[in-house]
Amino acid sequence: MLQKYYTVKGYGEHEIVIEKSRFICYVNRAETEEEAVAFIQQIKKKHWDATHNCSAYLIGEHDQIQKANDDGEPSGTAGVPMLEVLKKKGLKDTVAVVTRYFGGIKLGAGGLVRAYSRAVAEGLNAAGIVERRLMRIMHVTIDYPWLGKVENELRSSIYSIKHIHYADRVTFDVLVPEDSQPSFSEWMTELTNGRSDIQSGATEYAEQLLPPS
């Protein structure tokens, strides 16, 4: 599993108008090719009367699946430029569709490349891009007298509390970056004077929204 990667937060859409042509970009997260194809078909059905519904998607940890479709635009002027925007942003598991309603003015090959690239770039900003970082769930069990101190320290630290279990003792489920496990355990041991039981649990991805670029 990748330690971290970038993808879209979720569904988003954005429209621009260039020389009277409408370009509506739709983006979404897709973790399988089936999901990407289904999303494209959904947009095509919604805009059955559009001049073009061009698409591109990247799937897999190492971008194993890459597809681009010009949907009737001159070859290489729509789908490939759209795919290039996804790649330049370093995105994974992302699908984009740009619906065009022709406004009567031809843009030329260069103009089309710029239009479709811009539509996707602005569509991605509208949807939001997140960093997904692989985290280890660390289970920290303590006696109740340590509760206030440990909770306060955790909440003011770089780590995130996923859940707190209250039983005979208190257990914190804490999200810790994979490469920070040793330092976290050492810090927690010092904080509790060795009175904490620290266990390593499962892994999961945590998401952080990035500022628009």
> How many C-beta atoms lie closer than 10 Å to residue 200's C-beta?
13
Q: Which of 127, 142, 176 is the last residue of a domain?
A: 127
Q: Does residue 138 share a domain with residue 123?
A: no
What is the separation of C-alpha 93 from the centre of its chain, rounded to a whole number of angstroms? 8
| pLDDT of the residue at 90 | 95
155: domain range? 131-209
Q: Does residue 140 share a domain with residue 116?
A: no
| pLDDT of the residue at 130 | 97
| pLDDT of the residue at 178 | 86
Residues 73, 154: Cα–Cα separation, whole Å: 54
Q: Does residue 51 share a domain with residue 99?
A: yes
| pLDDT of the residue at 170 | 98
Task: Give me the number of domains the chain comprises.
Answer: 2
CATH, residue 82: 3.30.230.30
Q: Per-residue pLDDT for the chain (213 aa), expressed as one digit of tens each? A: 888 999 999 999 999 999 999 999 999 999 999 999 999 999 999 999 999 999 999 999 999 999 999 999 999 999 999 999 999 999 999 999 999 999 999 999 999 999 999 999 999 999 999 999 999 999 999 999 999 999 999 999 999 999 999 999 999 999 999 889 999 999 999 999 999 999 999 999 999 999 887
Q: Which of 111, 127, 143 is the last residue of a domain?
A: 127
Q: Does residue 10 share a domain with residue 103?
A: yes
Q: Does residue 103 share a domain with residue 32?
A: yes
CATH, residue 135: 3.30.70.240
Q: Does residue 173 share a domain with residue 80?
A: no
C-alpha distances in Å from residue 61, one per residue of 2, 104, 177, 190: 7, 41, 19, 38
| pLDDT of the residue at 143 | 97
Q: Which of 127, 144, 175 is the last residue of a domain?
A: 127
Quick one: CA dihedral 119, 120, 121, 125, positive or negative?
positive
| pLDDT of the residue at 131 | 95
Partners of 142 in the β-ladder? 170
